[in-house]
């Protein structure tokens, strides 16, 4: 059996995360309108909601079968449609990952792009004929579950959001993410002395897109993974999709320092860390 080394010659590192692409992704993409007061509360102040009176919550749950940087893994994400200046995109509150490549995907996504990723016990995505189903289980709770019937959307707005989507189509999109620099306060508390808002620029190359309706959507409350906070006011629809997602680059949109940067911590904590980092009483036993 071959053994590695803690020294890797520089010439062997040319392929490190080069290219970065999530190829052959398959699963569900869906939107619903959520409560405006809740959406405004959880979005960091530099960002503005798209359609602030009817804010759009977005979820995908997929099997990433051929990532360029890891074995296959499952991924699901929760976000809101937002904008910063002229840049419109998804502000991700949290991503959950499971499967063989999940840890590498978590480390690379958090370190390079600021994606708020966590590991969970289980993500399931399945389809039989015109019925599709997905769920996420984290820390013994089913924080998200959807059932869908393929055919037509719940609401015409979904058709507007995906009007140009189909086999052979390439769609450019942005994610609005925060990267942070950690400091320490006078009482030893963790502070964030600098924050950088970045545009995670990627493309979606569609192999298929099938419209569908949300027939059931359930989210169990969780202290650590509060997906259920984004209540469903009106379901818009779902798409069952196979696509590839190359990362085109990460660029800085704005920088924040001092108190302005540190105040953003309140918006970023739950998507990246658990409450066990805040308190002394934190035990969990057994296998979920």
Please state the domain extents for the chain. Answer: 20-169+203-247
Q: Is residue 237 a contact partner of residue 212, using CB atoms and an 8 Å limit?
A: yes
DSSP string covering 232-287 = -SEEEEEEEEEEEEEEEEEEEEEEEEHHHHHTTHHHHHHHH--GGGT-S-----S-
Q: Would you state the pLDDT for residue 287?
A: 63
Q: Would you state the pLDDT for residue 170?
A: 97
d(CA 116, CA 272): 5
Instruction: Say which residue the tokens 């990952």 belong to.
Output: 97
Instruction: Say which residue the tokens 């009007």 belong to.
Output: 163
Q: Would you state the pLDDT for residue 277?
A: 94
Tens digit of pLDDT for each residue in 255-266? 999 999 999 999
Decide which of 3.40.640.10, 1.10.3720.10, 2.40.400.10, 3.40.50.300 is the CATH code for 20-169+203-247: 2.40.400.10
Q: Would you state the pLDDT for residue 261?
A: 95
Q: Would you state the pLDDT for residue 74?
A: 98
Q: Would you state the pLDDT for residue 286?
A: 74
> Which positions of the chain have pLDDT values less than 50?
none
């Amino acid at each position: 059996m071959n053994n590695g080394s803690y020294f890797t010659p520089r010439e062997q590192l040319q392929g490190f995360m080069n290219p970065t692409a999530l190829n052959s992704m398959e699963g569900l993409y869906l939107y619903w309108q959520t409560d405006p007061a809740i959406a405004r509360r959880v979005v960091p102040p530099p960002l503005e909601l798209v359609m602030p009176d009817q804010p759009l919550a977005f979820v995908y749950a997929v099997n990433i079968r051929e990532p360029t940087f890891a074995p296959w893994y499952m991924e699901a994400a929760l976000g809101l449609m937002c904008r910063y200046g002229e840049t419109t995109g998804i502000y991700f509150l949290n991503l959950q990952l499971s499967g063989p490549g999940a840890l590498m995907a978590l480390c690379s996504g958090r370190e390079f792009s600021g994606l708020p990723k966590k590991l969970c016990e289980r993500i399931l995505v399945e389809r039989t004929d015109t019925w599709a189903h997905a769920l996420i289980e984290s820390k013994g709770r089913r924080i998200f579950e959807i059932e869908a019937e393929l055919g037509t959307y719940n609401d015409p707005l979904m058709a507007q959001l995906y009007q140009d989507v189909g086999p052979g189509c390439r769609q450019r999109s942005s994610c609005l993410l925060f990267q942070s620099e950690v400091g320490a306060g006078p009482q030893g508390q963790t502070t964030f002395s600098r924050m950088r808002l970045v545009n995670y620029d990627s493309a979606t190359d569609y192999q298929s897109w099938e419209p569908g309706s949300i027939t059931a959507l359930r989210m169990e409350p969780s202290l650590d993974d509060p997906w259920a906070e984004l209540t469903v006011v009106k379901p818009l629809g779902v798409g069952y999709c196979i696509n590839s997602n190359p990362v085109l680059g990460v660029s800085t949109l704005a920088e924040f320092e001092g108190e302005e940067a540190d105040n953003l911590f309140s918006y970023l904590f739950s998507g990246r860390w658990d409450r066990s980092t805040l308190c002394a009483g934190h035990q969990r036993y057994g296998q979920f």
